Amino acid sequence: MKNKIFEDYNLQGLELKNRFVMAPMTRSRSTQPGDVPNMLMADYYGQRGSAGLIISEASQVSLQGKGYERTPGIYTEEQVEGWKLTTDVVHEKGGKIFLQLWHVGRVSSSKVNGLQPIAPTACAAEDTSVYIFDGAPNGDASFVPVEVPKAMSLSDIDQVVKEFADGAKNAIEAGFDGVEVHGANGYLIDQFLRSNANHRLDEYGVTSVNRIRLLLRITEAVIEKIGKEKTGVRLSPFIKFKDMDDPEIMGTIMLACKELNKLGIAYIHLCEADWDDAPEIPDDFRQSLRKNFRGTIIATGNKTPEKAEELFERDLVDLVGFGRKFLANPDYPERVLKNAPLNEITNGHTLFGGGDAKGYIDYPFLDR
């Protein structure tokens, strides 16, 4: 195997020590009440500081934007202070870290945050659930169906744009090297992008040009607060779960990428399917993306180091994200370098542990 993945990389002036990206993964360990990041989370990210770039778990930009219990936020002073624990430790390890900014839109329930969800249109996502912690055995999360959302007014949209911008400013104050706007996986921005979830008849609906408007407004507002070199965007054109099967999405996504290219953002992060028999992203899509977006491209989703090298050599991506591999292997780059055995996830019940260190910071390192 060639070793391009171990080469350093310049991300619009931010020097990464390798091309491994630790992908964002929700783990639900924030301190309650208040969804405050804590030292347990700092230990978790610090252990994985050998990644060239860490993208944090999704962090809601407001209480309204919260869809799952015990996920961290980035909209209060206490949350900002809590996140400083993580950024300090990661930087001490020589790592770089972006915060993922999140609003779930209709993927929520009043049982999570006490609020009716909001969305582009008042239609619920079919066959979609979120989780709460309600005293289930072994501290497990319990799943509840999402609720019918309220259709957002124009003032609601303006408020969300402001929340993303404020979240970006807060992230930089907390010590993050940049932010990633979460426009993927069926959450609020993705809901606006998809014709099957967005039935609006105003300037945010009907056409692809209109459906990308919220994404562009949010990205522009974030850039205004922190700079384009510190702003990334995550998109998931090929993922259909959370009731997001839209026949028009490919054209909409490519149009969005062309416009994001004009804004000069740091990167586009493709969230790709990560199950074993997931379909491969077609080469023509990757080639079209490279043609239309000249910044850094990150690909995440069931990748191996060998697949990463192939994508690097063909100049289709620049960085590759790994999720579960980093979850169970805090020293994943070292294990790849030494061709060492990998830890496996030992207990799926600990993925969303609600506050426990078990299955979170207790995976062994090599020779320790």
Give the catalytic positions in this structure. 187
State how far the Cα of 334 lies from the Cα of 341, in Å rounded to an integer: 11
Encode the chain in three state secondary structure: CCCHHHCCEEECCEEECCCEEECCCCCCCCECCCCECCHHHHHHHHHCCCCCEEEEEEEECCCCCCCCCCCCECCCHHHHHHHHHHHHHHHHCCCCEEEEEECCCCCCCHHHHCCCCEECCCCCCCCCEEEECCCCHHHCCEEEECCCCEECCHHHHHHHHHHHHHHHHHHHHCCCCEEEEECCCCCHHHHHHCCCCCCCCCCCCCCHHHHCHHHHHHHHHHHHHHCHHHEEEEECCCCCCCCCCCCCHHHHHHHHHHHHHHHCCCEEEEECCCCCCCCCCCHHHHHHHHHHCCCEEEEECCCCHHHHHHHHHCCCCCEEEECHHHHHCCCHHHHHHCCCCCCCCCCHHHCCCCCCCCCCCCCCCCCC
Nearest CA among 58, 43, 57, 54 for reference residue 17 = 54
Q: What is the CA radius of gyration of the chain?
A: 19
